[in-house]
Structure 1
Amino acid sequence: MSKYNTAPIQQSEANTPALTPVHFFSHGSTMMLGEESTSADYWKQCGDEALKCGIKGVIMMGAHWDCIGDQIQVATNPNPGKSPVAYVHPSKYIDYKLVPDLETSQRCIDLLAEAGYNVTGNPTFDWIHDTYLILIRMFPNGCPPTTLISMNARYDPHYHMKVGSTLRGLRKENYLLIGTGGAVHNLYRNRWAPMLRFRDTFAQDSPPESWALEFRQAVEDVLTKTSGPQLRRAMTRLMKHPEYRDAHATDDHFMAAMFVAGAAGDFEDVGAPAVLAAETWELTNMCNSQFTVGSW
């Protein structure tokens, strides 16, 4: 018997389906798969809670898969492989079986097409560490049925926010929506020497620089002090923050935050609790903050 729920989710006293929480996870470097951290502990906690609540599946937008032009894609490979990761022993991931949810993938394609997106399935896409790293940490005993949504390489925040809002209704059917990117993620500003010399990304021989601390605080303020449509507006404004380009040399790792704001920023989400539950600094200036909006 499947441990994933196939029955309709229980409704509240007001006969309104409950909303699953939405996670914005900063997946960090590949070493976050190979080494223990408070972030990894929190990912496992979130996975345990999701299984306890009988999720039907996971729907994820990562940071390492994007499409050119105006298109977006949904992974439909029935037997995806895994892109190898550096500095992590293959035993940490090679035997973990991925479980693509092809039925939900098609449903996401239909929903996005109805919303006006140029969307197709991708039957050859192999999964990348930004998504399967999180799945292994959340669900070490077995991958739940999972759907992966690509980004669009124009990195329009409103485009990606609308993807989240388009799929938001699946939260009422007990799907768990996750954006996996980065709160502060600028590879050009990281200090790589400890990783290259000692394979230690957690070494902090000096404090993070002011631009990293400033933007990290701005992200926390937006996610924990706003809700509903205000969250969506505040999240897009972060891309105009004076420290944004220092914190994100490229926009790819911040689109997951837009996806989350879309999925958790409806009028129905006003007042939803949001927490910064764990945080791991790597390579001096990369801040892996782990946020949850809503609750079970």
Structure 2
Amino acid sequence: MPLALTPVHFFSHGSTMMLGEQSESADYWKQCGDEALARGIKGVIMMGAHWDCVGPNRVQVSMNPSPGKSPVAYVHPSKYVDYKLVPDLETGNKCIEMLAQDGFEVTANDKFDWIHDTYLILIRMFPEQCPPTTIISLNARFEPHFHMRVGAALRPLREQGYLLIGTGGAVHNLYRNVWQSMLKYSDNFAQETPPEDWAMEFRQAVEDAISGNSGPHLRRAITRLMKHPRFRDAHATDDHFMAAAFCAGAAGSEDDSGVYGKLEAETWELTNMCNSQFTIGAYA
């Protein structure tokens, strides 16, 4: 049955150990992958958090026909080394054309090797076989409206059966995590104390923005979160929040009015890292 419109996922990929340890988030990623396969998606378009390019209006599209994998710390190689990546060069060219038509300075990158922020999610969603996948870079200015516009430019791909995913973090400040249990005992889920107030407050602000806004209001709510008084506590760097802006662009047109996102799973790591998993919309 042809797809009328695919949902958009904003996933918080968390630490590298999210690839090696079972969690509520991992279960939800697998659920989303199973549903995507059952619905016959054509491929996946992803924006992560660990690849950016320099230039005021520049964005890149992964076009390496045989990408390698950047190594993953604290995870046994058996969890990822044999997983075969499937770059979608045809759709990559389509993304380049769409972004260029929307005024972006877009180029192909045929040397880019994939990083755990994207293939961690793909392995969890599609453990048997990677679907055809295209990765879009960040822009190193980390301007939220820019990344929202990237998502908006690619939104028509949802009508063609592609699944758009942003993989970053709801609360992701490595400097304020509590690392001892992970480093000493390989326990990333240890929670000897509650999360700090700043983490709880911003986590709630993200959920409120996504669950309480739709259409263009969603775009405004997400980009405005970078002015939240707790944003800098929750994000020491801006890179992991750009995926949320990308998703708001992809799911925030006038035609998306009335379609609200939902918090579907959540996993706290390292005391203060909140890995919230959101889905906006549903398969028609």
Give the whole-Å Cα distance in 2 for the aligned partners of 1:159 and 1:273. Answer: 22
Determine helix, strand or coil for the equivalent of 2:106: strand
Give the whole-Å Cα distance in 1 for the aligned partners of 2:74 and 2:143. Answer: 32
Equivalent residues of 2:189, 2:270 under 8 A apart: yes
Q: Normalising by structure 2, what TM-score?
A: 0.98
Q: By how many angstroms is 1:9 displaced? A: 2.7
Aligned pair 1:61/2:54, yes or no? no
Aligned pair 1:224/2:211, yes or no? yes
Give the whole-Å Cα distance in 2 for the aligned partners of 1:181 and 1:279. Answer: 14
- What is the correspondence of 1:121-200 to structure 2 with a 5 Å cutoff? 121-200=108-187
Aligned pair 1:20/2:19, yes or no? no
Question: 4+ residue runs of structure 1 moved beyond 4 angstroms?
Answer: none
Residue equivalent to 2:35? 49
Give the whole-Å Cα distance in 2 for the aligned partners of 1:240 and 1:19. Answer: 31
Of residues 250, 272, 275, the one that matches 1:288 is 275
Give the whole-Å Cα distance in 1 for the aligned partners of 2:173 and 2:44. Answer: 27
Determine helix, strand or coil for the equivalent of 1:60: strand
Give the whole-Å Cα distance in 1 for the aligned partners of 2:104 and 2:260. Answer: 31
Determine helix, strand or coil for the equivalent of 1:214: helix
Q: Which amino acid is 1:9 matched to? A: P
Aligned pair 1:274/2:261, yes or no? yes
Equivalent residues of 2:210, 2:260 under 8 A apart: no
Residue equivalent to 1:233? 220
- Name structure 1 gaps, 5 residues minimum: 1-7, 11-17
Q: By how many angstroms is 1:274 displaced? A: 1.7
Determine helix, strand or coil for the equivalent of 1:188: helix
Q: Which amino acid is 2:2 matched to? A: I
Equivalent residues of 1:9, 1:172 under 8 A apart: no
Give the whole-Å Cα distance in 2 for the aligned partners of 1:272 and 1:144. Answer: 26
Equivalent residues of 1:184, 1:247 under 8 A apart: yes
Aligned residues between the structures: 282
Give the whole-Å Cα distance in 1 for the aligned partners of 2:27 and 2:234. Answer: 25
Equivalent residues of 1:273, 1:295 under 8 A apart: no
Give the whole-Å Cα distance in 2 for the aligned partners of 1:184 and 1:120. Answer: 31
Q: Normalising by structure 1, what TM-score?
A: 0.94
Equivalent residues of 1:47, 1:138 under 8 A apart: yes
Residue equivalent to 2:16? 30
Q: Which amino acid is 2:39 matched to? A: C
Of residues 235, 248, 259, the one that matches 2:246 is 259
Residue equivalent to 2:73? 86
Give the whole-Å Cα distance in 2 for the aligned partners of 1:189 and 1:91. Answer: 30
Equivalent residues of 2:212, 2:260 under 8 A apart: no
Equivalent residues of 1:105, 1:147 under 8 A apart: yes
Q: Which amino acid is 1:67 matched to? A: C
Give the whole-Å Cα distance in 2 for the aligned partners of 1:145 and 1:107. Answer: 13
Q: Which amino acid is 2:279 matched to? A: T
Q: Which amino acid is 2:38 matched to? A: K
Equivalent residues of 1:227, 1:270 under 8 A apart: yes
- Name structure 2 gaps, 5 residues minimum: none
Residue equivalent to 1:3? none
Q: Kindly report the root-mean-square deviation, in angstroms, between the aligned alpha carbons of the 2 structures.
A: 0.8
Equivalent residues of 1:76, 1:123 under 8 A apart: yes
Q: How many percent identity over aligned positions?
A: 73
Q: By how many angstroms is 1:69 displaced? A: 1.6
Q: By how many angstroms is 1:273 displaced? A: 3.4
Equivalent residues of 2:213, 2:260 under 8 A apart: no
What per-residue deviation string (whole Å, max 9, x for no partner) do you get for residues 13-58 of structure 1? Answer: xxxxx21000000000000000000000000000000000000000
Q: Which amino acid is 1:282 matched to? A: E
